[in-house]
Structure 1
């Protein structure tokens, strides 16, 4: 059998080496540019009570499932509370949607707990509950303790993503301002973990609490700033999805869902492209 000339072998080796280098570079480029699409929902569920006065967790679950979410921030969630039939609403919503749940109580109420929750289909790495500033309730002015639940999940390439559900004070503007400052202080000053913040801020886009948040966060809001409350005839945009750092995300879609019955708020939905470096 005739052996190929050495020159041909050298050319073949050089070509193979070149192809290997190109393959490695393409692989590295692909890894560097990996992205993940996230379907995010923010929903104040009014402790399960719809605008028809009925407590119906299954109805809320149907609204949530229709968006096929990866991450859901819930506010006004009852667990074992008398008014809502002692139902563990967080766990029931998890069962009905097929998502994992974590509950972040902010207060005791009617023999149970009341607060925020997160639903997710992503693997959960860590959970934390962060109290927020608020003014104590008095006989003259009823207020509620405020807080945030922070769930860290794992992305497709193993990178962590932080997801926060929160609810600002409903009737004291100064509390909302302090709560916005606290969110910035706790979740932006000492961490570069990509983070999505969602909640009922009880403040319109031009209000000071939102302007404070915008110093550190990007608002995934539609151009019209479609109102979310009250759900039957919405007048005010008070429910939001924010993210940071801005360079790590791209908004593919954002909207308010036309759902007037299941809660006194309409849900906010966004599709974000998360650029995992």
Structure 2
């Protein structure tokens, strides 16, 4: 089984031209054409914090569907709201033919609203787990948050090949949050993704469990992605190792 995973901080849909353009974001996602996508900053900042990309637009103009944490639409804890399609601005999109067994919100230790989404998926007979996240600007809190996510994955029912991805706000692979990654996790470096105009930092990362073989990975550069957000999308094409 081969799947492409992508992560994109869409900056609330506001591009470098200061225009909020959901259609442009959808166009960028169609260019990437990943099977599973994690979005960050996918809600508006104020008011009802409605989703930048409407559920209807995603269903009508893309091959994906948004999957929300179970019970997320209740707004419990302030992370999800009726007009949102995710949790604290994190959204997971999956191709419609991919089965979704479970979706849950992962509360993170922080002083400001942060969170992650964990989903158990099925492609044919193969099970996999994916987590989309947006970590803190504080190095200490980032480390605690990544540890909380890894602990959550460990507590999930049944082991499964896992992909963690998102805007991890970590400038160094050798220090900070990634130092605490336990054996069995592999940190991928698709490339520099921030700031979009002249990328110097690899803030957007993908972490995989040992069952995955990396076939290709990179940063998505295009005319649209150059102005669509302050981040560039990152992606990885992965295959499950033979059992």
Counterpart position of 1:120: 94
Secondary structure of the residue aligned to 1:186 is helix
Secondary structure, aligned partner of 2:149 = helix
Say whether the 8 Å CA contact 2:115–2:134 is kept in structure 1: yes
Decide whether aligned partners of structure 1 residues 261 and 110 sit closer, same or farther in structure 2, where only a CA change above 3 A counts: farther
Q: Which has the higher helix share?
A: 1
Partner of 1:217: 185
Which stretches in structure 2 are left out of the alignment for 5+ residues? none
Q: TM-score normalized by structure 1? A: 0.73
Give the Å deviation of 1:174.
Answer: 1.5
Q: Are residues 1:164 and 2:138 paired?
A: no
1:133 paired with 2:109, answer yes
Counterpart in the other structure of 1:89: 53
**Separation in 2, partners of 1:94, 1:79:** 20
Instruction: Find the aligned partners of 2:241 and 2:123 in 1 and give their Cα distance.
Output: 10
8 Å Cα contact 1:132/1:147 also seen in 2: yes
Change (3 A) 1:77 1:184: same
> What's the CA shift for 1:147?
1.1
**Deviation for aligned residue 1:76:** 0.7
- How far the C-alpha of 1:159 sits from its partner, in A, is 2.5
SS at match of 2:29: helix
Q: How does 1:72-87 map to 2 (within 5 A)?
A: 72-78=37-43, 82=47, 86=50
Match of 2:148, SS state, is helix
Q: 1:123 to 1:276 in 2, by over 3 A?
A: farther
1:61, distance to aligned residue in structure 2 (A): 0.8
The one of 44, 47, 50 aligned to 2:15: 50
Match of 2:15, SS? coil
Q: Could you list the per-position Cα deviations for residues 183-215 of structure 1 after superposition, in whole angstroms to 9, with x for gaps in the alignment?
A: 121113665211111111100222320222364
CA contact (8 A) 1:58 1:96 kept: no
Alpha carbons 1:102, 1:118 under 8 Å: kept: yes
Residue aligning to 1:270 = 236
Larger radius of gyration: 1
Q: Which residue of 1 aligns with 2:214?
A: 251
1:31 maps to which residue?
Answer: none
CA RMSD of aligned residues (A): 2.6
Aligned length: 226
8 Å Cα contact 1:153-1:161 kept in structure 2: yes
1:270–1:167 distance in 2 versus 1, CA, 3 Å: same
Q: Please say if 1:183 is aligned against 2:149.
A: yes
Q: How much does 1:107 deviate?
A: 4.5
Q: 1:261 to 1:107 in 2, by over 3 A?
A: farther
Q: Is the 8 A contact 1:132 1:146 kept in 2?
A: yes
For 2:17 and 2:9, how far apart are their aligned partners in 1?
Answer: 16
